[in-house]
Amino acid sequence: MIKSLTFSNFFSSQEMSSFNVNSVRSHFPILNRSNRGKSIAYLDNAATSQKPNSVIDCLSNYYRNTNSNVHRGIYELAEEAEAQYASARKIVANHCSVRENEIIFTRGTTEALNLLAHSFGRAQLSSGDVIALTEMEHHANIVPWQIIGKELGTTIEVIPILPDGSLDRDFLSNVLKQKKVRILSLCAISNTLGTINPLKEIIREAHQYETFVVVDGAQSAPHERLNLTELDCDFFCFSGHKVYGPMGIGVLYGKAELLEAMPPYQGGGDMIDQVSFSGTTFASSPQKFEAGTPNVADAIALGEALRFFAQYDLKEVQCHETALLESARHGLSDIPGFKEHGTVPGKAAVLSFSIDGAHPHDLASILDAEGIAIRTGHHCCQPLMGKLGVEATARASFAFYNTLEETERLVKATHKAVTLLR
């Protein structure tokens, strides 16, 4: 029997009525399409978010009316593009509560982490140093450090997770005390477990041992207001496409003094000051790290995405997303053999699970036939899958435009799928 699902199981009527999800959905045209002939229930938001009309219009408007290269032209079109591009950087900086010269545009979180490993890492690390990572990291926050570590002779210390998916803080404390940890790089929120790491506490402790802290914020940026000055991390990165913006654009924040001391990651274009065959001098940050033609249109659209998201009350958004998570969890938990991966209290709206006798890929195929889009696989977290003792999980991840009706569809379709697969 499928459990009854209502928001009232979890929240007061006042909390439920304060958030108008239908108004939110009206801004996202793709939510009106069908999937396999049924209305789409898009529950793969940890992979990428959908885009509101204002972001889509922003991209179209740029290419229709403003398209030109920046930093080069003195004609009106170029000046307009330059102004919009500069405004986008200002919007991002304000969103993060940092200075504009501390914001670098990248292609996404992956490129930002690679930039840090190959620039900051190469400048700061030497043989015998330790890079600390956690068991819950995305491949993008593992592989770049492995590459640079092999080159420089550093070692990687892995901080384990506890059975509920939380970070083993005692283990981390001992590593910081006993090892020469030069860099600690960790996610703000696990894309698989939904674990929200206590960053302020971790950063404060790491800095006591002169350890630099890099934060992969790809999963946290769509669900919180960023105050990176208050957080006091040394670096923070996120992707535009996960925060209702376009693909192909991302952000790297770094403390100004650290960015200025870092060598360039790539050469060419406007990252230079002066070039001659006898040598080259480089521009200041952020231009030093933005070689070549910038992704102007997507940067401007990212600014619009952040403006769009900022108009909503964050507490209402978080309450709504938590209600979705809890209703889905409640409805699925009575399936025999159901196991949720990541059960720490207060987690983000990510439900990663496995069901005995139902392979995640088979489950997702049946859900797809019902119009429901979820993610299956290792979620670019193969070491974590090994820790969990599985090859893959099913993952439903929620955004503020998802509805209770969609979680009910997820539950009903999953019950149906399990019946068919067993």
Tell me the mean pLDDT in the region 357-385: 97
Q: What is the mean pLDDT of the chain?
A: 94
Q: For this structure, is 96 an active site residue? A: no
The residues near 389 (Cβ < 8 Å, ≥ 6 apart) are none
Contacts by 363-369 with C-beta closer than 8 Å and gap 24+? 363/394, 363/414, 363/417, 363/418, 363/421, 364/394, 366/413, 366/416, 366/417, 366/420, 366/421, 367/410, 367/413, 367/414, 367/417, 368/35, 368/36, 369/36
Each residue of 21-51: pLDDT tens digit? 999 999 999 999 999 999 999 999 999 999 9
* % pLDDT > 70, the chain: 96
E-strand ranges in 296-419 read 338-341, 350-355, 372-373, 375-377, 393-397
286 preceded by cis ω (within 30°)? yes
pLDDT, position 258: 98
Q: With pLDDT > 90 as the criterion, what percentage of the chain qualifies? A: 93
pTM score above 0.85: yes
Tell how strand 272-276 and strand 279-282 pair up.
Answer: antiparallel
Q: What's the pLDDT score for residue 417?
A: 95
DSSP state of 379: T
| Closest of 230, 233, 199, 227 to residue 214, by C-alpha | 233
Classified as helix, coil or strand, 69 is coil
* Residue in the block written with tokens 């000046």: 79
Instruction: Quick: pLDDT tens for 94-125.
Output: 999 999 999 999 999 999 999 999 999 999 99
SS3 132: strand
Query: What structural domains does the chain harbor?
Result: 7-48+313-421 (3.90.1150.10), 68-310 (3.40.640.10)
What pLDDT, in 10s, does the model give residues 252-297? 999 999 999 999 999 988 898 999 999 999 999 999 999 999 999 9
Catalytic residue among 237, 319, 380, 381: 380
β-strands 212-216, 181-187: how paired? parallel
Q: How far apart are CA 117 and CA 320, in angstroms?
A: 37
Look at residue 314 in the predicted model and tell me its pLDDT.
94
Kindly indicate the confidence band of residue 420, based on its pLDDT and cuts at 50, 70 and 90. very high
pLDDT in tens, 151-168: 999 999 999 999 999 999
Kindly state the DSSP code that residue 92 receives in the 8-state scheme: H
